[in-house]
Chains A and B, each alone.
Chain A
Amino acid sequence: MPEPDIELERYELFEGPRYRFEVDRRDFLKSFSTGLLVLLVVPRDGVLSAQQESGRGGGDRDRMPADVNAWLHIGEDGAVTAFTGKVELGQNIRTSLTQAIAEELKVPIAAVTLVMADTGRTPYDQGTFGSRTTPTMNLQLRKVAAAAREVLASRAAAQWNIARDAVTVKDGRVQGSGAAQSIGFGELVKNAPLVATVSEKTVLESPKDWAVAGTAVPKINGRDIVTGRHRYTSDMTPEGLLYGRIVRPPSYGATLARVDASAAEAMPGVVVVHDGNFLGVAAPTATAAGQAALAIKAEWTAGSGASARTLFTDLKRPADGNAGSPIIAGSVDEALTRGPLKVDAEYTVAYIAHAPLEPRAAVAEWQDGRVTVWTGTQRPFGVQQELVDAFHVAPDKARVIVPDTGSAYGGKHTGDAAIEAARLARAAGKPVKLVWTREEEFAWAYFRPAGVIEIHAAAQKDGVVTAWDYHNYNSGPAAIGTPYDVANQRIVFHPAQSPLRQGSYRGLAAVANHFARESHMDEVAHAAGIDPLAFRLKNLRDDRLVAVLKAATDKFGWKANATGIGLACGVEKGGYTACCVEVRVARGAVTLVRVTVAFECGAIVNPNGLNNQVEGAIIQGLGGALFEAIGFENGRLTNGHFAQYRLPRFSDVPPIDVILLDRRDLPPAGAGETPMVGLAPAIGNAIFSATGTRLRALPLVPHGLPASTNQ
């Protein structure tokens, strides 16, 4: 199958740092001058590069080059600390990564502390997105832990004068023969520090033998969450804290014309910062900050005037941007003229908001020209670079720490709140906390791209699809290629000038592209008069996709010719999914009766965590499928509140049957995104099956169907 060579990560609203200067970590490494340290040469590309033995063993701290990252440390007390630049956002990787380490190192879960997302302590990482944590970081940490296990086993074997194969490693101890030969990790490294490096020879446990990985280990900081003890960024209260508030323009694109801040400046303890278009205050209490911001008189120029009414024609206007190369196979134009069945349609998707329940927040503090910012972001090193650029400081003068965060779904790639808090803190000379209001989070973050997708397809009378001409305007290239076996294809992504700020969203454009593709496949199936399941099986060659499709339809009890049911399937980022939906339509109101979703992403690392992700993806997907859409008019949002922007709630959730296929023979892939992609088209297809009405816009039924529509 041809692969698009479009750089998907670009569409993740990811702008890589132009330069990455060496950071001197010697001070940090010194704190590990005892015990066992596992090192790796900086993996610049995020991929493990095997470390050569270059004479830097033996704990000789001084000869260690600066560009070395510490990945794992075992102290003389046996305490295991591991380091990763990844961020916990609710996807449960603090637990699954800890499981991977515990598995390879043969220690209990509770013995491992995982330090995450701290640019001052954890190795460089480009960000937590794209479902990359499980395939890359999980593997990396397993290798690191396995390397540690091996040097410990070898040292014990050497001490006992027996072969490495004669010792076993278990529960943080190495055992030789007999009770006398048993030694804890801490004792093994006492007074004789060790350095381990990962090499290509490092042997990992086979997933078939997993005892800790692959099991439903409870969420590691679950107790802190249910007691309210966990401190999100917005909960931090360092000594001497001031509270920030930003004065925002009334509409997009408006710039500051005039400011009178005298009344605010006269308030006790209030600091006002006006720097270019930046206007904000810091005050001793949140209430005072709000009052000070209100007291500022600001005049703004007129803004962009962008409006949703013309959105879908605007997006089809040619624009510059990275289109990547189209996927071309065979001769589409010819095949389209041949027919005989021809189906053309246009699909649209609206902008939607991530609306993470914890809005953007940051606590910033300056000390001796160094800035430290705690903030919820998916790209700590990216935000560090934003600080470097914004404040013209050297990289080792900017540190970003990400407390486990109140989720993001692709919506927290940027450091907006971090930069704003740091600007206020620098002026105030005190730490400043800035928590965006819900309205700010709606208006000044960014959206999942809106888009238009145009499809022309041709098929033979027997249902074999022969031509697939596919054009995606603006919504993005993720999962743009078809998994069906079609001889003649032309698949093109057309960048557009987006009127609203847009960026990544859970699954990127995979949701939009699956919606269009799977709705259209349904249309072709109906045109050919073939059951949608039989039709898909006829056009599929991909065994893994066929397997999930069969698993979902079997469990669902799929019946050709039944009404009110729909299905869809797809593959993205190494995850395979199929979704079946039953709907009921009465007097225009659409009710989801039940959803069955099958998912396969290789070996399962934590079944309960995976189940939670799949269920969550379906429930979040419900919103975008049925009713979520951002409205805007004259450069302002018309529904940027929870009171107006409808989110999925308890009562929207149908019974969801999750089927997980565990393929221990395949490496694990990520799972946070792909399970979502089949839902919207499956609902649309079910509505068609119920009513004969084909819906081609996401959201499908923001206001229901016409009141006269019945099943």
Chain B
Amino acid sequence: MKVSLRVNGATHEVDVTPTQTLLSVLRDQLGLTGTKYGCGEGQCGACTVLIDGLPVRSCQARASLVQDKSVSTIESLESNGRLHPLQEAFLKHEAMQCGYCTPGMIMAGVGLLASTADLTDEAIVKAMDRNVCRCGTYPRIVAAIKEAAHARA
């Protein structure tokens, strides 16, 4: 079936199967490979994107059901060569090793920053707990999100 998807501000007509995931459309049909596959079952968050500003696991979202919504991926954060403050904070704290979890972490973090005014460590840990970093960079990720929250304030 044909659906029209609004991704990073552009509209795309794509041919999908009824059960096809948003993750698969983004990566395989739109070439947006910054969003990663880690488990396909909603457990790791590597595939996190924002739908209407809220973090969603794109491996669990059917592409056919997100028409009329606005999808943002990691590729949308940099604008005119300027990184999003959270991307800057990830660099500053070197909140990555292999970096495979990083796009999902950053998208989850961007969603969190947008939705929560007062970010304590506990709130960050709670909100991010479904995102896995197998390399174990969690403390640095918490520090990066806190830094971006302060920069915003």
Determine the residue in chain B with the shortest Cβ distance to A437.
Answer: B40
- Is B10 on the interface with A (CB-CB < 8 A)? no
Cβ of A650 and Cβ of B142 under 8 Å apart? yes
Asked if A198 lies at the interface with its beta carbon under 8 angstroms from chain B, I say no
Are A218 and B94 CB-contacts (below 8 A) given A226-B83, A437-B40, A642-B41? Answer: yes
Instruction: Kindly supply a per-residue 1/0 record for chain A positions 286-319, scoring 1 wherever the CB is within 8 Å of any chain B CB and 0 otherwise.
Output: 1100000000000000000000000000000000
Residue from B17, B33, B94 within 8 A of A222 (CB atoms): B94
Which of A30-38, A463-471, A616-624 is the contact stretch? A616-624
Are B97 and A92 within 8 A (Cβ)? yes
Task: Report whether over half of chain A's contact residues are helix, strand or loop; otherwise say mixed.
Answer: loop
Whether B74 pairs with A227 at a CB distance below 8 angstroms is yes
Within 8 A of B (CB), among A236-276: 237, 243
Given the interface pairs A616-B136, A620-B136, the reply to whether A234 lies near B37 with Cβ below 8 Å is: yes
| A641 interface hit (Cβ, 8 Å) | yes
Contact between B98 and A90, CB atoms less than 8 A apart: yes
Establish whether residues B94 and A438, one from each chain, have CB atoms under 8 Å apart when the complex forms.
no
- Which stretch, A59-67, A119-127, A353-361, touches the partner chain B? A353-361
Q: How far is the CA of A235 from the CA of B75 in the complex (A)?
A: 14
The answer to whether the Cβ of B60 comes within 8 Å of any Cβ in the partner chain is no
The reply on A20 being an interface residue by CB < 8 A is no
Q: How large is the interface on B (under 10, 10 to 19, 20 to 34, 35 or more residues)?
A: 35 or more
- The reply to whether the CB of A643 lies closer than 8 angstroms to some CB of chain B is yes
- In the bound assembly, the distance between CA atoms of A285 and B28 in angstroms comes to 8
What is the bound-complex CA distance between A381 and B121, given in angstroms?
45
- Which chain A residues border B103 with CB–CB below 8 Å? 226, 228
User: In chain B between 7 and 51, which residues have their CB closer than 8 angstroms to a CB of chain A?
Assistant: 17, 20, 24, 27-29, 31-41, 43-44, 46
B44 touches A407 (CB 8 A): no
- In the assembled complex, how far is the CB of residue A383 from the closest CB belonging to chain B, in whole angstroms? 19
Residue A559 is within 8 A (CB to CB) of chain B in the complex: no
Cβ–Cβ < 8 Å partners of B101 in chain A:
357
A615 and B98: CB pair below 8 A? no
Which residues of B have CB within 8 Å of A286? 24, 28
- If over half of B's interface residues share one DSSP class (helix, strand or loop), that class is named, otherwise mixed; here it is loop
Residues of B within 8 A of A619 (CB): 136-138
Minimum Cβ distance to chain B for residue A619 (Å): 3
Known: A287-B17, A357-B100, A650-B128. A643 touches B43 (CB 8 A): yes
Tell me if A591 counts as interface (CB < 8 A to partner B).
no
* A222 and B41 contacting across the interface, CB-CB below 8 Å: no
Contact with B along A656-686 (1 / 0, CB 8 A): 1000000000000000000000000000000
Smallest CB gap from B141: residue in A: A650
Give the distance in Å from the alpha carbon of A237 to the alpha carbon of B90 in the complex.
Answer: 27
Chain A, residues 624-659, CB within 8 Å of chain B (1/0): the string is 000000000000000001110001111101001000
Beta-carbon contact of B75 and A357 below 8 Å: no
Give every chain B residue within 8 A of A648 (Cβ-Cβ): 136, 138
Find chain B residues with CB under 8 A from A404 CB.
98-99
Tell me which residues across on chain B come within 8 A of A653, comparing CB atoms. 136, 138-139
Distance of A620 Cα from B87 Cα, bound (Å): 24
The minimal Cβ–Cβ distance linking B133 to chain A, given in whole angstroms, is: 7
Q: For residue A615, which residues in chain B have a CB less than 8 angstroms away from its CB?
A: 136-137, 139-140
Q: Does B66 lie at the interface of the complex (its beta carbon under 8 Å from any beta carbon of A)?
A: no
Tell me if A502 counts as interface (CB < 8 A to partner B). no
* Chain B residues with CB under 8 A of A641: 39, 41, 43
Q: When the two chains form their complex, are residues B35 and A228 in contact, meaning their CB atoms are under 8 A apart?
A: yes
> Are A438 and B96 closer than 8 Å at their CB atoms?
no
Query: Are B34 and A229 neighbours in the complex by a CB distance under 8 Å?
Result: yes
12 new A-B contacts, CB < 8 A, other than A357-B100, A358-B38, A649-B130, are A90-B97, A92-B97, A219-B94, A226-B83, A226-B87, A226-B91, A227-B77, A228-B102, A357-B135, A608-B94, A615-B136, A650-B138
Could you name 9 residue pairs across A and B whose Cβ atoms are closer than 8 Å?
A: A90-B100, A222-B96, A223-B83, A226-B90, A228-B35, A232-B36, A285-B29, A404-B98, A609-B94
Chain B interface (Cβ within 8 Å of chain A)? 17, 20, 24, 27-29, 31-41, 43-44, 46, 73-75, 77-78, 83, 87, 90-91, 94, 96-103, 106, 124-126, 128-142
What 5 A-B pairs are tightest by C-beta distance, nearest first? A228-B34, A90-B98, A619-B136, A406-B100, A225-B99
